[in-house]
Amino acid sequence: MELKDKIVVITGGTKGLGKALALEFEQSGAKVIVSSRQGNDTENYIKADVRNENEVQSLAKTVIDKYGRIDIWINNAGIWLPHAPVEEIDMKRVHDMVEVNLFGTMYGAKAAIIQMRKQNFGTIINILSTSALEGRAGISGYGASKFAAMGFTQAIRKEVEEAGIKVVSIYPGGMQTNFFDEKQPANYQKYMDPQEVASKIVQNLQKDIPEEELIIKRPTA
């Protein structure tokens, strides 16, 4: 896909992977609109808490009113909880994490698909995690949110393919981002640079036939 002049929406596009993606798309000539819980409601940065469906719909409406279409919608906003065995988890925090990682992705995809069906084109990219591919001790809540988001993503891909809408799943391994501000994992220094991951995501999209299920693991040395 040629990215020049494409209208790209990135939820959680102000830090980490989302910010790196915004830079990569801008360098390819795309018009990028980012959102986060903060937002400053400028042209390119809109407040939209992905836990709130109305705010996500309003984000889509703002972009459509201004640009008339959405070419690419990236459900990137996500949160994390420090490692803990299940019996020590604060379930209120897990609930909030599921609101962001699962429901935020569902609200975003729904808002994008409503518009993309009218257009008969569009690409949705859901940022999942390698934690959606295997259960890992210490992150049962996070893993559950990402497994669920993966199931949702694979289901909507089948729903919308007839309408010319592509759905791409990305499974990154560990990246050095603000995700771990509360507590860094022990091997954090070995985590990937989010810019390298963003570059691979954009390169995949530029292929004639992008991979629908792209795993980006950190190199093992």
Ligand X SMILES: NC(=O)c1ccc[n+]([C@@H]2O[C@H](COP(=O)([O-])OP(=O)(O)OC[C@H]3O[C@@H](n4cnc5c(N)ncnc54)[C@H](OP(=O)(O)O)[C@@H]3O)[C@@H](O)[C@H]2O)c1
> Which residues are tagged catalytic?
142
How would you class 209 by CB atoms within 10 Å of its CB: exposed for 0-12, middle for 13-18, buried for 19 or more?
exposed
Nearer to ligand X, 14 or 140 (CB): 14
Cβ at position 116, least distance to ligand X in Å? 21
x/- letters, 23..62, toward ligand X (CB under 6 A): -------------xxx----------xxx-----------
User: Which among 201, 197, 196 is positioned nearest to 213, based on CA atoms?
Assistant: 201
x/- letters, 109..148, toward ligand X (CB under 6 A): ------------------x-x-------------------
100 binds ligand X (CB under 6 A): yes
| Binding positions for ligand X, 64-83, rule CB under 6 A | 76-79
Give 16-50 as a DSSP string. Answer: HHHHHHHHHHHHTT-EEEEEESS---SSSEEE--T
Piece of 10-18, 108-116, 156-164, 204-212 that binds ligand X (CB under 6 A): 10-18
97 binds ligand X (CB under 6 A): no
- Do the beta carbons of residue 93 and residue 81 sit within 8 Å? yes
Distance CA 51, CA 37 (A): 9
Strand order in the sheet with 165-172: 45-47, 31-36, 7-11, 72-75, 122-127, 165-172, 213-216
Query: Which residues bind to ligand X, rule: CB under 6 A?
Result: 11-12, 14-18, 36-38, 49-51, 76-79, 100, 127, 129, 172, 174-175, 177-179, 191, 194
